[in-house]
């Protein structure tokens, strides 16, 4: 990962698509090489954690605006987004376990 002074313009981002991944990490513009799909088959733990994360992501989309707003207010100054906190609470952070 490389820290950037500022995010590049959209033309630069499109020109380097599938080679360089630009994004904000904790509000800091960064770049990294484009993620590659693993050639190894996924383990049972990876598949299970992926399903748990998918379920938590679906719940995030279904949450009401009043709950969303309460999470946003509660996370101000904590360095965590409301989405991360909600998914952690709803999914028990189960998607981070990769094996048993």
Contact, 95 vs 53, CB < 8 A? yes
Contact, 33 vs 19, CB < 8 A? yes
The 10s digit of each residue's pLDDT in 50-99 is 888 888 888 888 888 998 898 888 888 877 788 888 877 776 665 444 44
- Count the neighbouring beta carbons within 10 Å of the beta carbon of residue 4: 13
- pTM here is 0.51
Strand partners, 30: 3, 23
User: Sign of the C-alpha dihedral, residues 21, 26, 27, 28?
Assistant: negative
Of 56, 63, 58, the closest CA to residue 84 belongs to 56
The 10s digit of each residue's pLDDT in 71-81 is 888 888 877 78
């Amino acid at each position: 990962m490389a820290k950037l002074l500022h995010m590049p313009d959209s033309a630069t981002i499109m020109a380097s698509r599938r080679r360089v991944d630009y994004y904000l990490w904790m509000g800091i513009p960064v770049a990294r090489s484009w993620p590659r799909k693993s050639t190894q088959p996924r383990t049972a733990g990876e598949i299970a954690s992926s399903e748990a994360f998918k379920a938590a992501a679906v719940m995030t989309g279904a949450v009401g605006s009043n709950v969303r707003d309460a999470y946003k207010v509660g996370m101000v100054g904590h360095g965590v987004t409301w989405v991360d906190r909600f998914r952690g609470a709803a999914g028990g952070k189960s998607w981070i376990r990769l094996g048993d």
